[in-house]
Chains A and B, each alone.
Chain A
Amino acid sequence: MAKLELSEETKAGMEEVREADLLIAVAVPVDAEQLRAAATQAILGAGKPALTALRTVVAFPGNSGVEAAVQAKTDLEPVQTDSGLRFVPYALPASSPSRIPWIPAASTYQALFGMARELGVSACAVIGLDLGALQTNFLAPMMAPVIEKRCELAMPLYALGKFDGLLNSSILAPLTRALYGRRIRFPLAPDFCFSGKMIPDLEVALQRTAAQGQSIFWPATEAAVRDCRLCQVHVDTRHMPPSDGVDLSTVLAQTVGPLFAEMATNAPLWQRVRGSQAVDTLGVAAVPPADGAAADTTPMLETFQLGFRNLQEVWALVLPPVTLLELKRLARASTGRFHLPDELWVRIVYDFALAYRLRTISRIHLLGALTPLYLGWVASYALEVGNASAAEAEQRLEKLARAYEEGKPYLLSRWRWPDRFNP
């Protein structure tokens, strides 16, 4: 497969650099001055001689026709470290305006990995969402296992509150784990590090992703599929994605949809996987943020009940009668007794994944119809772990992940024989 050609602007920016050991690839538009300060702090303030001795290049989105005021300044002065810290702007590829702005597009990763290849780096750190990773103790602990060749891909383990990252905890992480057999807690983490050895594999995977019209790239899935050495590192980074202008159903459609699409692509691989393996976990877990006031689940329960009253005809196209019957029982339950069993939730997700593959209904409608069910799960989870500690909530999520693994035979059966009678 042909390698991606870098744009002229990106090549011009790289002319002075030619070679580097480490690439810090910033995948989202950021303020240039803040980036310079954060990157300097991350390299010099880490207190690791190994890191300061590396020839480091920071790639960040520069002027590329993409309108963003923060990209105006691109001529950042190099920072004096042992081997120098240089800043190179690159052309941020234009992406669909309907996309969630804070999730980097696959085309952005293509440009960044192309730069990493041209520079011949031995390791690359991708910084997504915001500069949170560079402003915290992220780079040194994440890069260490990659530079020391202990693993090829290092994924972060964020310290989240029990009501944070719920979409990841309820669908993305447990489904990825059940499918590909690796216990990765944040498969769609915006920040991650990988070795230079992985670049060709990742580039091929990205080309396939782009050719299939997918917009989201799953590095951990690729590493699991290619049997690369994976590790997870505890970090104290905390991202706060802006919720303005992006509603839950859009986020759900644009993250769960690509995961279902990946399922269809990798079906021959995951059908052979049974159970899951733990991934090496490094570092010390950071203290999760303190819980706020008691969670109010009423709006979510209302949406679930409203969904049950109005979307039964849509759900009936996707879900078997026994699931609909259980949902009916749930919709009638009072708030105190509302509990969505793990097995039921797992079957719902698997049935939606199958319907996505078979195009039982329009995919936009399908993922929209999943939102009230997801809110039902969130309400049930919140009621269950309302008084629990973060560690207990994590144990609860581990139980859910095991339910996904135990429910995999159901998925296999439905996937292989979708027309078979399913009561």
Chain B
Amino acid sequence: MWTQVSQSLHESMARVISRVATLLPGILAFILAVLFFAAIAWLLAWLVRTFLNAIRIDERLARGTDAIAEWSPSYTPTTLITRVVFWCVVLVGFLVGLEAFGASSDNLISARLLGYIPNVVGAVVLLLLGNVIARFLSRSVLIGAVNMNLHYARLLSLGIKWLVLVLTAAMVLDHLSIGAAIVDLAFGILFGGIVLALALAVGLGSRDLVSRSLEREAARPGGEAMPEEQFRHF
């Protein structure tokens, strides 16, 4: 009996080793493809950066529009374009590596992974965009509300931020085909809840604001200057 057990273990070990051995060329091909394309990406990024610097794209875009700089103030247009080129080529290398891995190992994992990669890429892009937009909008609302002397500025800003983040999360999960109906339902409840909470908060806050404003207006005799008009800024 021990002989049979030992034989069975030896056979399974041999099968695993042979499977790993068949996968090794694929893994090696994957690593090589990624490294090779990373080198190409680095070279291309360098070429693009040199070209963009030569045509002074940053200065030209700064003259025309501030849109890129406004949404991404930490990075110049040259840096952004160079990075996009670099990561696109690295992604192509990753796909080529996966294809090579699949061809050498003839299993279904790589085929499924390959089919799923566009979803993952789309989801990552959505996530990044959603974060940037949420940050920009929440800061815009916060500053605008403070300048309008709204005491619930922070609440408004947080509300906007979470609205965009929840929307982004729902879109990302939908893109990844995770959760399906549950995500839709949860998103509806969360989104509706945030909007309702904001409406209640703003509505209840504004009630005092409006009544104070009306009281001030009623108490003010006709023709008297508002206090703000005592100061002329320009």
B234 neighbours in A (Cβ, 8 Å): 165, 167-168, 241, 251, 255
A317 vs chain B, min Cβ distance (A)? 10
Interface contact A310-B230, CB-CB below 8 Å: no
Q: How many A-B residue pairs have CB under 8 A?
A: 107
Shortest CB–CB separation between residue B173 and chain A, in angstroms? 29
The minimal Cβ–Cβ distance linking A175 to chain B, given in whole angstroms, is 15
B70 touches A363 (CB 8 A): yes
Which B residues are in CB contact (< 8 Å) with A213? 62-66
Option from B147, B157, B228 in Cβ contact (under 8 Å) with A372: B147
Q: Which of B65-88 contact A (CB under 8 A)?
A: 65-66, 69-71, 73-74
Given known A249-B147, A362-B71, contact A166–B228 (CB-CB < 8 A)? no
| B179-234 contacts to A (CB < 8 Å) | 225, 227-234
* Chain A residues, Cβ within 8 Å of B74: 359
- B146 sits at the interface (CB 8 A): yes
Is B136 an interface position by the 8 A CB rule? yes
Contact B71 A371 (CB under 8 A): no
Q: How far is the CA of A300 from the CA of B225 in the complex (A)?
A: 17
**Neighbouring A residues of B71 by C-beta, 8 Å:** 362
**Any B CB within 8 A of the CB of A293:** yes
Which chain B positions have C-beta within 8 A of A365?
A: 139-140, 143
Q: Does B6 interact with chain A (Cβ within 8 Å)?
A: no
Return the contact of B149 from the options A255, A302, A362 (Cβ within 8 A).
A302
What are the 5 A-B residue pairs with the smallest beta carbon separation, nearest first?
A296-B227, A368-B143, A359-B73, A164-B232, A167-B233
* B interface secondary structure, majority: helix
The residue that A303 contacts in the complex, of B62, B147, B232, with Cβ under 8 A, is: B147
Whether, in the assembled complex, A307 has its beta carbon less than 8 Å from a beta carbon of chain B, the answer is yes
Q: Judge whether B154 is part of the interface by a CB distance below 8 angstroms.
A: yes
Majority DSSP secondary structure for residues of A touching B: helix
In the complex, which residue of chain B has the Cβ closest to the Cβ of A163? Answer: B231
Name the residue of chain B whose CB is nearest to the CB of A254.
B234
Give the most central of A161, A165, A307: most B CB within 10 Å. A307
Give chain B residues whose Cβ lies under 8 Å from the Cβ of A364.
70, 140
Question: Which positions 144-161 of chain B face chain A at CB distance < 8 Å?
Answer: 144-147, 149, 151, 153-154, 157
Interfacial residues of chain A within 299-318, with CB under 8 A of chain B in the complex: 299-300, 302-303, 306-307, 309-311, 314
A sample of 5 inter-chain contacts (CB < 8 A) reads A213-B66, A310-B145, A359-B73, A359-B74, A372-B147
Residue of A nearest to B227 (CB): A296
Residues of chain B lying within 8 A (CB to CB) of residue A298: 227
Complex contacts, A359 vs chain B, CB 8 Å: 69, 73-74
Residues in A with CB closer than 8 Å to B146 are 303, 306-307, 310-311, 371-372
Closest to B154 in A: A310
Interface: A361 (CB within 8 A): yes
Chain A residues with Cβ below 8 Å from B228 are: 299
- Counting chain B residues whose Cβ lies within 8 A of the other chain, the interface size class is 20 to 34
| Cβ 8 A contact of A368, one of B147, B229, B231 | B147
A42 to chain B minimum Cβ distance, whole angstroms, is 24
Query: Nearest Cβ distance between residue B56 and chain A, in whole angstroms?
Result: 12
Given A213-B64, A306-B153, A365-B140, 17 extra CB contacts under 8 A = A165-B233, A213-B65, A249-B147, A251-B234, A292-B225, A295-B231, A299-B228, A303-B149, A306-B151, A359-B74, A362-B70, A363-B70, A364-B140, A371-B143, A371-B147, A372-B147, A378-B231
Which A residues lie within 8 Å of B229 (CB)?
Answer: 243
- Inter-chain contacts of B70 with A (CB < 8 A): 362-364
Asked whether, in the complex, the Cβ of B69 is within 8 Å of the Cβ of A314, the reply is no
| Cβ contact within 8 Å between B64 and A310 | no
Q: Which residues of B contact A309 (CB under 8 A)?
A: 154
Residues of A within 8 A of B231 (CB): 163, 166, 295, 300, 378, 382
By a CB distance below 8 angstroms, the chain A residues around B147 are: 247-249, 303, 368, 371-372
User: Which residues of the other chain, B, contact A371 by a CB distance below 8 angstroms?
Assistant: 143, 146-147
Chain B CB within 8 A of A387 CB: no
Selected contact of B66 from candidates A251, A314, A363, A372, CB within 8 Å: A363
User: B38: which A residues are within 8 A, CB to CB?
Assistant: none
Residues of A within 8 A of B149 (CB): 299, 302-303, 306
Do A211 and B139 form a contact, CB below 8 Å, given A163-B231, A296-B230, A371-B147? Answer: no
Q: Is A212 engaged at the interface, CB distance under 8 Å to the other chain?
A: yes
Is A369 among interface residues, defined by CB-CB distance under 8 A?
Answer: yes
Could you say which residues of chain A place their CB within 8 Å of the CB of B232?
160-161, 163-166, 240-241
A277 at the interface (CB under 8 A from B): no
Interface assignment of A7: CB less than 8 Å from any CB of chain B: no
Chain A 367-411 interface mask (CB, 8 Å, partner B; 1/0): 011011000001000100000000000000000000000000000
| Whole-angstrom distance between the Cβ of B209 and the nearest chain A Cβ | 13
B166 at interface by CB-CB < 8 Å: no
B133 CB to closest chain A CB (Å) equals 12
B142 at the interface (CB under 8 A from A): yes
Q: Say which residue of A249, A292, A369 sits within 8 Å of B230 (CB atoms).
A: A292
CA distance A300 to B233 in the complex (A): 12
In the complex, A101 Cα to B65 Cα: how many Å?
20
Closest chain-B Cβ to A103's Cβ sits at a distance in Å of 8
Smallest beta-carbon distance A273→chain B, Å: 25
Chain A residue nearest to B59 (CB atoms) is: A212
List the B residue with the shortest CB-CB distance to A214.
Answer: B63
Closest to B230 in A: A295
